[in-house]
Amino acid sequence: MPRLAYVNGRYLPHGGARVHVEDRGYQFADAVYEVIALRGGRQVEPERHFGRLDRSLRELRIDWPVPRHVMRFVAETLVRRNGVRDGYVYIQVSRGVAPRDHAFPAAARPSLVMTTRRTRPFDAGVAGRGVGIVLRPDIRWKRRDLKTVGLLPNVMAKQDALDAGAFDAWLVDDAGTITEGTASNAWIVTGPGVLVTRTADADILNGVTRLGVLDLVREAGLRFEERPFTVDEAKRAREAFLTSSTNWIRPVVAIDGDPVGDGEPGPLVRRLVAAYAESFGAV
């Protein structure tokens, strides 16, 4: 069965799917996206993803290309036709095709593109393995709460991390506090055992996995704070981890080559990995 992509109303062979050269997503990064995890052929927390997509579109004054329920139906159809059980569906909406000009075009119609990708089934053992991260300056624009396709600073920081033998980079703002990873949210556990993650304001993307973990934290009655934390706090933390739709929960056991805690995944993050696997790992 050939792999399909969806482009503006048509299911097309993935290898031949195209958008117009003057699509504003290509020329200006004038587009937003969502990545929804798939487990057992079903979308994980789709309402949160589509709610965040709606907010990104409204903030950038881009219309929905199709009604929300139609977009969800298209995503489900693409997943089914591609036979994807475990993986993700990628959804991108641009402002559309128009002659190149910085100003919003008066008559452009939003473009909608979807693709799917297979991944290995969720494995709590893999998710529980520790990874190392490096720190890099946060040079992104100031509306990181919007999930736009303008990701060049993220790409550069990710490549820096890989070149350094690390899994990812955590980004540091001018105040010396950690914002987030290149495609993930950052968490630490303080010496007294308080879980800390940055407040979901314009400085970070309010990750769907972040929200799911916070649900589990509240249900378990764990102590937590939503606030900025410094590089020094991160390096002195008892535990650290990152969250994202594609990586779930991954313990961070080293920062810039220095161990976090004892350099092994700690008890709290192991507990969260198990709880998240029970809730979302085998839908």
CATH number at residue 92: 3.30.470.10
128: left (phi over 0), alpha (psi -120 to 50) or beta: alpha
**Host domain of residue 27:** 4-118
261: alpha, beta or left? (left if phi > 0; alpha if psi -120 to 50): left
- Do both 175 and 42 map to the same domain? no
Domain final residue pick, 89, 118, 147: 118
Name residues whose C-beta falls within 8 Å of residue 71's C-beta, 6 or more positions apart in sequence: 50, 64, 65, 91, 112
Residue 236 and residue 178 share a domain: yes
Confidence at residue 21, expressed as pLDDT on a 0 to 100 scale: 96
Across the range 218-232, mean pLDDT stands at 97
Number of domains into which the chain is organized: 2
Please check whether residues 103 and 134 belong to one and the same domain.
no
Of the residues 142, 147, 158, 235, which is catalytic?
147
Q: Tell me, what's the pLDDT at 1?
A: 62
How far is Cα 116 from Cα 236, in angstroms, rounded to an integer? 40
105 and 134 both lie in a single domain: no
Confidence band, pLDDT 50/70/90 cuts, at residue 128: confident
Tokens of 11: 């299911």
Which residue among 96, 118, 140 closes a domain? Answer: 118
Q: What does the alpha-carbon distance between residue 148 and residue 31 come to, in Å, rounded to a whole number?
A: 6
- Verify that 101 and 194 share a domain, yes or no: no
Same-domain status, 252 and 128: yes
Cα 16 from chain centroid (whole Å): 27
Question: How far is residue 227 CA from its own chain's centroid?
Answer: 20
Cβ neighbours of 61 (radius 10 Å): 8
User: DSSP string spanning the chain?
Assistant: ---EEEETTEEEEGGG----TTBHHHHH--EEEEEEEEETTEESSHHHHHHHHHHHHHHHT---SS-HHHHHHHHHHHHHHHT-SSEEEEEEEE--B-SS-SSPPSSPPPEEEEEEEE-PPP-HHHHTS-EEEEEEE--S-S-TTS-BS--HHHHHHHHHHHHTT-SEEEEE-TTSEEEEESSSEEEEE-TT--EEE--SSTTS---HHHHHHHHHHHHHT--EEES-EEHHHHHH-SEEEEEETTTEEEEEEEETTEESTTSS--HHHHHHHHHHHHHHTT-
In whole angstroms, what is the distance from residue 35 CA to residue 56 CA?
14
Residues 10 and 92 grouped into a single domain: yes
| Pair of tokens at residue 282 | 């085998």
Domain boundary among 92, 118, 144: 118
Query: Is 158 designated active site?
Result: no
Are 265 and 157 in the same domain? yes
pLDDT at 43: 94
Judgement on whether residues 58 and 137 belong to the same structural domain of the protein: no
Q: What is the pLDDT of residues 49-95, one digit of tens each?
A: 999 999 999 999 999 999 999 999 999 999 999 999 999 999 999 99
Residue 269 sits in a domain of what CATH number? 3.20.10.10
- Could you tell me if 26 and 83 lie in one domain? yes
188 lies in the same domain as 244: yes
Q: Are 100 and 22 in contact (CB under 8 A)?
A: yes
Q: Does residue 129 sit in the same domain as residue 105?
A: no
Q: Supply the pLDDT for residue 281.
A: 62
Evaluate if residue 283 carries a pLDDT over 60: no
Please give the mean pLDDT across all residues of the chain: 95
Summarised one tens digit per residue, pLDDT across range 7-30 is: 999 999 999 999 999 999 999 999
The pLDDT, as a whole number, for residue 52 is 98
